[in-house]
Chain A
Amino acid sequence: DAMVIQNPRYQVTQFGKPVTLSCSQTLNHNVMYWYQQKSSQAPKLLFHYYDKDFNNEADTPDNFQSRRPNTSFCFLDIRSPGLGDAAMYLCATSRLGEGRGTDTQYFGPGTRLTVL
């Protein structure tokens, strides 16, 4: 089945220690998104890639970076995690440009990040 995969599902890191979260997709979608979701809150968009074009949200901290080496993979790098960065990180994909409803975003299972 085509899907969005995130690894790892749970990540524990130390305060200030860089961490990388991974997302891959077999849907051949041209857009990939990274969201941060804190407990009992709605997901908050950090940035997204339309093909290779990177779109950063204005309020995304510089501490968060992303890479998309190819269509299938996208990475979220947190350069110096703080306690406030503990959250669920959700990757999503969509396919733009093919008509109504096809821009639906499909999410992966998420990576739950703990910062000690």
Chain B
Amino acid sequence: AQKITQTQPGMFVQEKEAVTLDCTYDTSDQSYGLFWYKQPSSGEMIFLIYQGSYDEQNATEGRYSLNFQKARKSANLVISASQLGDSAMYFCAMRENPNFGNEKLTFGTGTRLTIIP
């Protein structure tokens, strides 16, 4: 079974609108972390935002926020006031309860976001 599911292969959004990228996850661990990365066409993976499983408040970083619904096992990324530079591939990833020194990330298949002027 997929541990990270991103159901939107591609999205087109008008500039300045808000956009929500969906991510659901599957784990039996109590302690885990959820991450979002942005990958522009240049290829670099850029860290955007982190949410820990014990965090009671949704994470926010500038225009990025994470809508964390633990019971539903979802961790959607919300980008407010989208800009042309937001056009990229977006990956959701999960770090399950790691053995010390055995850190691993599991990535979803990604969502390609295109911002339309």
Residues of A with Cβ closer than 8 Å to B? 31, 40-43, 45, 48, 50-51, 53, 55, 88, 90, 92, 94, 96-97, 100-101, 103-110, 112
Contact = CB atoms under 8 A, between A and B. Distances in A.
Contacts of B102: 50, 55
Nearest to B92: A42
Q: Which 10 A-B pairs have the closest CB atoms?
A: A107-B45, A42-B107, A50-B101, A110-B43, A109-B44, A101-B50, A100-B52, A88-B43, A42-B109, A104-B47
A53 B101 contact: yes
Residues of B contacting A: mostly: loop
Interface residues of B, number: 26
B35 interface: yes
Contact of B44 (A41, A97, A105, A108): A108
26 contacts: A31-B101, A42-B109, A42-B110, A43-B45, A43-B107, A45-B104, A48-B104, A50-B101, A88-B43, A90-B45, A94-B103, A96-B103, A97-B100, A100-B33, A103-B95, A104-B47, A104-B50, A105-B35, A105-B103, A107-B46, A107-B47, A108-B44, A109-B42, A110-B43, A110-B44, A112-B43
A41 B87 CA distance: 17
Interface of B: 33, 35, 37, 42-47, 50, 52, 54-55, 91, 95, 98, 100-105, 107-110
A42 to B, nearest CB: 4
